[in-house]
Amino acid sequence: MDMKAFFKLSYGLYVISAHSGGKDYGCVVNTLQQVTAQPAMLSVAINKNSVTTKAILESGRFCGVALTEAADMDLIGTFGFKNSEAVDKFAAFPTAADQKGVRYLTAHTAARYSCEVKDTLDLGSHLLVIGSVTEAEILSEEPVMTYDYYHRVVKGGTPPTAPSYKGNQEVEPAGKARWRCKICGYIYEGNPLPADFVCPICGQGADHFEKI
């Protein structure tokens, strides 16, 4: 089976958030999608070990925003590679709250969707959460970020917890020297890799990079 065939499927890049126990949770996903129009329902596949998943199940609600091409590595790295139990991911970014008090990002987001959980499906490593949309709003007209744009232009990696993670099969054909972060998958192009280089996604130093 040619795993590269899965690269031809189209994805976006989203931040899913939830509020539980007086705390805000959030993570990056590429699996938020509409499943029906009448009634309006969305689904999201999210890692079962994610603390955001736990918050969604506890509260019965979640909010999703579609990121735009203007979203930078600071935002993506914070929500994609840090833990909500250890870090207040929302502290450094503009946010608002929906009618149920779930916070969501407002900068570099094209639209937001508030959902009430209606059903779940165990997918092994991930949980498919199906939600009924209770609020929806366009936030900007900036171009939405596709997963292809994220990899080609932003040069971002895929967390091992993501459903689309394919390990070393994500490596593109070699051109100039390339170095991969062993923690988050971010790829640096250039030779040599600066000794003081810090990964823009997960904050690891040059000693956590390997040549590919």
pLDDT tens digits along 157-171: 554 545 544 544 444
Q: Is residue 80 situated within a structural domain?
A: yes
Q: How far apart are CA 128 and CA 120, in angstroms?
A: 5
Q: How far apart are CA 90 and CA 95, in angstroms?
A: 7
Indicate if the pLDDT at residue 86 is higher than 50. Answer: yes
User: Could you tell me which of 22, 27, 30, 16 has the C-alpha nearest to residue 58?
Assistant: 22
Residue 117, domain extent: 10-148
For residues 41 and 34, the answer to whether their CB atoms sit within 8 Å is yes
User: Could you tell me which of 64, 32, 57 has the C-alpha nearest to residue 122?
Assistant: 57
Question: pTM value?
Answer: 0.77
More confident residue, 29 or 159: 29
Residue 111: other Cβ atoms inside 10 A: 15
pLDDT at 142: 94
pLDDT at 11: 86
Q: Is residue 78 situated within a structural domain?
A: yes
The mean per-residue pLDDT over the stretch 25-44 comes to 95
Q: Is residue 208 situated within a structural domain?
A: no
Q: Is residue 165 situated within a structural domain?
A: no
Q: Is residue 196 situated within a structural domain?
A: no
| Span 13-27, pLDDT tens digits | 999 999 999 999 999
Residue 149: other Cβ atoms inside 10 A: 16
We report the CATH number of the domain holding residue 109 as: 2.30.110.10
Q: Is residue 47 situated within a structural domain?
A: yes
Give the count of domains, the chain.
1
pLDDT at 116: 98
> 40-44, 110-114, 189-193: which range is least confident on average?
189-193
The mean per-residue pLDDT over the stretch 177-191 comes to 82
Q: Is residue 144 situated within a structural domain?
A: yes
Q: Is residue 44 situated within a structural domain?
A: yes
Residue 182: φ, ψ to 5°: -75, -10
